[in-house]
Amino acid sequence: MLAINANLYYMKYKDQLVLTGELTDVGYAVMANVPNSYRTGIELSFGIKPADWMSVELNTTLSKNIIKDYTNYANLTDNTTDWGETGLTVTEYIGKSTISFSPSVVGAGKLTVMPVKNWNLAWTTKYVSKQYIDNTQNSNRMLDSYFVNNFSTRYDFKLKGSKSIYIQGLINNVLNVKYSSNAWVYRTLFQSGEPEYVEIGYYPQATRNFLVRLGIEF
């Protein structure tokens, strides 16, 4: 059995609300409107079942996520000694820019085998390409691409008085990859002319971890 699907899309926006990469003083993500932007790409999926005991599933999205004519407004602080807020901003014309937190390639795959009835083993993978933390398309404010693999196994059976029982085991991030899937940035310019200050906070994801689950349905 073989299944292949493809989907082309183009979405044009006026005043799209996008993440700026900043946080408020209580930790909420800051968003702002951009006047002219679009998201376009292709979504592909592939599935094959060469035997009753094996299946393979793959999917990917290739996209462009663009702000056509972007102007950034950077905070302005008086100097590095006092750090006094001036209440002013500095206009930075960027032009064409990639929308923050919008990777151009996302892909996933899953291999499932069933060596005996009611017992399956599955290997899943996920790839996410680089993505910018803010809308300035600056390579110094960017999340690196990452590729993560997980393994799971599940066995289903029945006992008297129960509808179904299953035992499941998972090993997440099998290859022990160190990566971050999200981040925030604080940036300010100085009225005194001193070099800008940039602080970036990352959200590291768990390295190799394990989970065992027992489920009972009555």
Give the CATH number, domain containing residue 141: 2.40.170.20
Amino acid, res. 172 = N
* Count of domains observed in the chain: 1
The model carries a pTM of 0.90
Task: Indicate whether 25 pLDDT > 90.
Answer: no
* pLDDT in the model for residue 142: 97
Q: What is the pLDDT of residues 132-158, one digit of tens each?
A: 999 999 999 999 999 999 999 999 988
Q: What is the pLDDT of residues 91-124, one digit of tens each?
A: 999 999 999 999 999 999 999 999 999 999 999 9
Domain assignment of residue 51, given as a range: 2-217
* pLDDT in the model for residue 100: 97
Structure tokens at 212: 């065992």
Q: Say how many residues make up the chain.
A: 218
Summarize the confidence of residues 164-185 as an average pLDDT: 96
Cα 62 off chain centre by: 14
Summarize the confidence of residues 156-175 as an average pLDDT: 89
